[in-house]
Amino acid sequence: MSTGSADTEGLGGSPAWRERLFTTLQRRGAIVVLILVVAVSAVVFDNFLTEQNLENIVLQGAFLGLIVVGMTFVIISGGIDLSVGSMVGLGGILAALTVQVSWPLALILPPLVCGLIGFGNGLLIARAKMAPFIVTLAGLLGIRGLALALANEKPIGIGGSSPFDWFGQGQILGISVPVFFVIIAFAVGGLVLARTSYGRIIFAIGGSEESARLMGLPVDRTKVIAYTTSGALAGFAGALLAARLSAGDPNAGLAWELDAISAVVVGGTLLTGGAGTMSGSLAGVLLLSILQNLINQLGTLGSYAQQVVSGFFLIIVVVVQAYLSRKER
């Protein structure tokens, strides 16, 4: 009798087994969907797996990917950062204004300034106990206004050839420099989440901030670091984008905060916090980039099609996540 019971549990009768299954589907489902989308696209579109097309897909997602790394930390902690898109625009403008003075400064100043802004956001959220949505929404508006004011409401060209251009247009071992940076960012972010005490603390805060405080964990400091990282990566993405385009555009990154949130959620990170992976967020970025690429290949759809498809896709993912979470509980 005991053997039969054990067999039944091994076939799925055990609640623990089902819980592990639902958790795996929730956190790794995006990777499975990504593989399926790539396989179907390769069959339907003849030029999908060409080297040029794959390079376009990866490069298109690289700038958003840097933002997604920071956003993953923020959302796992139970927060949200709506200011990152505006920081991309500000980062590009700061790079364009300083590149003629010193090209290394054009790379250092944007993440430094945007990191300080993120630090301020974190202090208001962690210490002043203000709602992340309100704080970062104010940042979204104010930072965009600052970028427009600094640029006199028009793009600032980066004239002449300088080493700065290489950071947006060059290659390392055949890999575009922005892609190289985003690979490093995801690798480091994944190690931090999985292998460090900071990662364990940020998961604990997202799971239950009150419990984390009762355990004596440094909740405020951890949240401030998450928002600082998010701001710095957004500013750096803006600098790389300016190097890629040879211009700083104050309107760059418009609505990218929504794309970043979508990629993180599609990747399996819960909006309520406490669960998520960098690999899932990377899969989310690639999925959104592939969807845009496929829409462009169809050629008959308007520019609105990507937003419609992405929105529909996000709704499906959120519904599935809610279902899996209920089943897990």
pLDDT at 308: 76
DSSP string, 150-199: HTTTS-EE--S--HHHHHHH-EETTEEHHHHHHHHHHHHHHHHHHHSHHH
Backbone φ, ψ for residue 155 (5° rounding): -60, 150
Enclosing domain of residue 176: 28-39+48-328
Q: State how far the Cα of 258 lies from the Cα of 11, in Å rounded to an integer.
A: 41
For residue 28, pLDDT over 70 is answered with no
The predicted-structure confidence for 2-25, as pLDDT tens digits, reads as follows 444 444 344 444 566 666 655 666
Average pLDDT of span 319-323: 67
| CATH code, 276 | 1.10.3470
Closest C-alpha to 140, from 119, 122, 123, 117: 117
What per-residue confidence (pLDDT) applies to 6?
Answer: 43
pLDDT band at 49 (very low <50, low <70, confident <90, very high): confident
186, part of any domain: yes
Half-sphere exposure of 311 (CA within 13 A, CB side): 5
In a domain, 15, yes or no: no
Q: Is residue 23 part of a domain?
A: no
Cα–Cα distance for residue pair 4/223, rounded to 1 Å: 49
Comparing 46 with 157, the larger pLDDT belongs to 157
pLDDT band of residue 36 (cuts 50, 70, 90) is confident
- In DSSP terms, 176 is beta-bridged to 171
Residue 245 lies in a domain: yes
Check if the beta carbon of residue 143 is closer than 8 Å to that of residue 252: no
Least confident of 11-15, 212-216, 266-270: 11-15
Residue 164 lies in a domain: yes
Q: Is 3 contained in some domain?
A: no
Number of compact structural domains in the chain? 1
The answer to the question of residue 114 being in a domain is yes
* Residue 12 domain-assigned (yes or no): no
Instruction: Give the pLDDT score at 295.
Output: 79
Q: What H or E segment, with its residue span, contains residue 300?
A: none
